[in-house]
Amino acid sequence: MPCVFPSPRRPGLYRGGQRCAALAAALLWAWLCMLALPVGSMAASEALPRPQATVARCFDGDTLKLTDRRVVRLAGIDAPELHAPQGDKAQYYAREARKALTERVRGRKVTLRAAGVKHKDPHGRWLAEVLLEDGESLNEALVREGAAFFYPHRDLSPQLQERLRAAQREAIAAKRGLWAQLLSQPVAQATYLGNKESLRFFPTDCAAVQHIKPRNRVYFGNLMDAFMAGYAPARVCPFWPLVP
């Protein structure tokens, strides 16, 4: 029905104009409600294409390959690197992290669930929360057992971020997995500078900290404080201990 608004010369159309005005107000309200949703909440509820899959292999502690050849990056978490940026050696707990992931999912059926606004990363890998056959979140389970750490992103589902942050605090408090030794290393006693905008933290002697705006700076007295606050290590100026 075309929207005809009231006119002094056409009083019979007043009721129709009221209906049109009410419809316009309702549409405006719905649009405002969508804008008020947290970033990632709508996309995270969407199903990924071909969500049912079987795991073929695990590349490291946070990336796996499916039997249909898709590569999946577990969203919201990170694991120590098998090939460290500062050399060809593995980072501390990298091999254990890959083993933990492999034992849980290799050859098993999983379900992929959208985790935020982006469905793929710059490398073309699918970003997902992976659910095991019993419904358990693999991402959350790995963080809770200390095989990986929370890696926040602004476009990640707020609900998933909160679960991962809580799982990490639990793992740190219980000194599970990588936390058993990492927090006793010399790097654990150093001070760090975080960026409130990116939620990354850096060694205070890293040249990159000069680019952090003063209003975005947050200081951490030690490594545990930075992780407990939900920040993750920046890629530049790596400090993670290496193993032969």
The domain containing residue 209 runs over which residues?
189-238
Torsion of CA 80, 85, 86, 89, to 10 degrees: 60
Last residue of some domain: 184, 207, 227? 184
pTM of the entire predicted model: 0.81
Check: CB of residue 151 under 8 Å from CB of residue 125.
no
Judgement on whether residues 178 and 193 belong to the same structural domain of the protein = no
Q: Which residues are catalytic?
A: 73, 81, 125
Is residue 24 situated within a structural domain?
Answer: no
Write phi, then psi, for 135 (nearest 5 degrees).
Answer: 90, -5
One digit per residue, the tens of pLDDT, for the chain of length 244 reads 444 444 444 444 445 556 655 555 555 554 444 444 444 444 444 669 999 999 999 999 999 999 999 999 999 999 999 999 877 899 999 999 999 999 999 999 999 999 998 899 999 999 999 999 999 999 999 999 999 999 999 999 999 999 999 999 999 999 999 999 999 999 999 999 999 999 999 999 999 999 999 999 999 999 999 999 999 999 999 999 999 7
The domain tally of the chain equals: 2
Where is the domain boundary, 139, 156, 184? 184
Instruction: Please indicate, yes or no, whether residues 170 and 205 belong to a single structural domain of this protein.
Output: no
CATH code of residue 156: 2.40.50.90
Asked whether residue 124 falls in the same domain as residue 67, the answer is yes
The answer on 197 and 177 residing in a single domain is no
